[in-house]
Amino acid sequence: MIEIEVFDEGVIGELLIKEGTKVPVGTVMAMIKTDGEVAETKKETTPEKIMPKTQPKEEKIIKKPVEEKFEERHIKASPLAKKIAAQNNIDLSQIQGTGENGAITKEDVDNAIVQKEKITKPQEKTPVQLEAIRLAVAAAVSKSNKEIPHYYLEKKIDMTKALAWLREANSKRPIQKRLLPAALIIKATAKSLTDFPNLNAIWDNGLQLKEEINIGFVVSLRGGGVIVPAIRNASLKSVDEIMEALNDIIPRARAMKLRSSDLTDTTISITSLGEGGADIVFGVIYPPQVAIVGFGGSSQQAFVENGMLGIRPIFTATLAGDHRATDGLTGSDFLSSLNNNLQNPDLL
């Protein structure tokens, strides 16, 4: 579900396409009537009531038949931004707009809400939101299971060096800057993907490689369901920058405050169970991606290296690959590369 902003006051006079229809970017979707035009035709309903709540994914632009005009209060903001600000008691005069001509956008208001929620109690998710997410997850995994011939591989990774590197790094940092293992494994995965471009791709009438490595990180929601925001250009980010990205997207994901741009153009996914829980996770590929990397919970295990038995912290990394796109050998080499990266955290 994507909300589309306009920066003019008015109401939608006519919907030119049927709700739910997919149309190319740039298609005129609706005509907006200005206040004057609405007065002429008698006000029948409010903008909120007739604004379509669900928009086709490809849509981006609503073309407007009228020139822009300024607000009486000299605060330029989209009606959607105003509505959300009012619902969340956000003072628009305190927000610096980043939209057209400094207009306040929904994104600006969302950011203000996030800031406000850092110091106030966050809202709980509603059953309706959770049900919508459940249905979205159901649709995606059903499509995946129906269309994608998965193959699965696993590799145990000794995390002794990686965790020691993290401990050392964190000992020098204030708590706000500390790193979690997730940041390191995302970085290691992104670095390996640069050598395995066939895994950083989508399947759409054939394999289409993607230049940017935009990792979808699976975030579990309290109350059920998952959401997969993107960490963009992960291979170009440092471990610190990836941690900053996690600090940004995870709270917003759990507060249901992600923007549509946070969820698009992912090229591969990572799912990580964190500490405790199951040892291994075999992911379901998120279409049209062609791979998902899984990390089970870390645990102390007997591990043999160079003929010596020791007790080591072990992560089991898995790869679920689309067999139309790659073969097991590619996946196996990828997991070996990932292991190698995590044995050399200084080089990440």
Partner 1 sequence: MNEQEIKNIVFQLLKQIAPDTEPETLQPDENIRATLDIDSFDTLQFLVSLNEKMKIEIPEEDYGKITTLKTLVDYILEKIK
Q: Is 180 in the site for partner 1 (CB under 8 A)?
A: yes
Closer Cβ to partner 1, 83 or 178, answer by number: 178
Which x/- pattern, by CB under 8 A, does the window 225-264 give for partner 1? ---------------------x---xx-------------
In contact, 249 and 237? CB cutoff 8 Å:
no
Residue number with CB closer to partner 1 (93 or 171) = 171
- The whole-angstrom separation of Cα 327 and Cα 343 is 25
* Choice between 25 and 119, CB closer to partner 1: 119
- Asked if residue 172 binds partner 1 (CB under 8 A), the reply is no
Q: Contact with partner 1 (CB under 8 A): which of 49, 73, 121, 146?
A: 121
Q: H or E segment at 312?
A: strand 308-322
Of 62-91, binders to partner 1 (CB under 8 A) are none
**By the rule CB under 8 A, 178 interacts with partner 1:** yes
Q: Report, in Å, the least distance between residue 315 CB and partner 1.
A: 13
Q: Which is nearer to partner 1, 175 or 309 (CB)?
A: 175
Site for partner 1 in 128-167 (CB under 8 A): 167
User: Which residues partner with 292 through β-bridges?
Assistant: 269, 320
224 binds partner 1 (CB under 8 A): no
Query: Can you read off the two tokens belonging to residue 20?
Result: 């739910």
| Residues in CB range of 344: below 8 A, 6 or more apart | 161
What is the C-alpha R_g of the chain? 23
| Binding range to partner 1, per CB under 8 A, among 7-15, 91-99, 197-205, 219-227 | 219-227
Question: Treating both helix axes as pointing N-terminal to C-terminal, what angle do 106-119 and 79-87 enclose, rounded to 10 degrees?
Answer: 20
Q: Does 275 bind partner 1 (CB under 8 A)?
A: yes
Q: Interface with partner 1 by CB under 8 A: which range of 49-57, 117-125, 149-157, 232-240?
A: 117-125
Determine what percent of the chain falls in helix, strand and coil, rounding each to the nearest 5. Answer: 40, 20, 45
Query: Which residues, 6+ apart, have CB-to-CB distance to 284 below 8 Å?
Result: 141, 144, 145, 150, 292, 320
Q: Chain-centre distance of CA 171, in angstroms?
A: 30
Helix (H) or strand (E) holding 166: helix 160-171
CB of 296 to partner 1, least distance (A): 14
Nearer to partner 1, 43 or 173 (CB): 173
Structure tokens, 220: 């579990």
Contact residues: partner 1, CB under 8 A: 121-125, 167, 170-171, 175-176, 178, 180-182, 220, 222-223, 246, 250-251, 274-276
